[in-house]
Amino acid sequence: MFTPNTRFLVVDDFNTMRKAIKKIFGEMGYTNIIEAADGQAAFETLQYQHAKGEAIDVIISDWNMPRMLGIDLLKLCKKTPEFKSLPFVLLTAESEQVQIIDAVKSGVSEYVIKPFSPQMLKEKLEKVYRKHNAATKVA
């Protein structure tokens, strides 16, 4: 799995969901978690962290948020050279096929449908790690 000092960016407009994810990640041994309340704030955080030499390693983002949707954050990251290879997990209550296809075409690493249990999130994160690890080895 990811190393304990992996830096996660958790993006959700609801503080409760950010806390819930932090709790689950904490149980997995990950405590290096930075939060943002929407896609726009998340992109600014990505740039800020990159500039100060403490780059984000993995993005976990909600889909439905004000100012900038999670899917638009994903597309923006994929267009930005510094962030295009970052593992990106979309968490969403939206599970319609058209949205899943959009996310997959846009390069999402994994798609987690709410409601999810802590175990489901852990399993998705393990899949993301395996994919990312394989991609890094190929590169």
Partner 1 sequence: MSAANKINIHHPFMDGVIIQSLANGVVEALKIMVNIEASFEKPFVGTNWKSPTDFSVYLNLNSDFYRGRIQFHFTEMVAKTIVEKLIGSEVIEKSEILDGVGEISNIFYGGAKTKLNSLGLNLAMSLPKPCLTKDLPKAIAETTCMLIPFKVLGEICYVEIILN
Binding site for partner 1 (CB under 8 A): 12-17, 19-20, 23, 64, 66, 92-96, 114-117
State the nearest-atom distance from the C-beta of 71 to partner 1, in Å.
Answer: 11
Kindly provide the residue ranges of all beta strands, DSSP E only, lying in 1-139, ordered along the sequence: 8-11, 33-36, 58-62, 88-92, 110-113
Tell which residue, 102, 101, 113, 111, has the closest CA to residue 131.
Answer: 111
- In the bound state with partner 1, the residue whose beta carbon lies nearer, of 12 and 110, is 12
> Least separation, in Å, of the C-beta of 121 and partner 1?
11
Using the minimum distance from each CB to partner 1, give the nearer residue, 81 or 115: 115
Is residue 122 classed exposed, middle or buried when 0-12, 13-18 and 19+ CB atoms within 10 A define those classes? Answer: middle
Which CB, 66 or 107, lies closer to partner 1?
66
In the complex, the smallest distance separating the C-beta of residue 38 from partner 1, rounded to whole angstroms, is: 11
CB nearer to partner 1: pick between 114 and 132: 114
Q: Which has the closest alpha carbon to 83: 113, 110, 109, 111?
A: 109
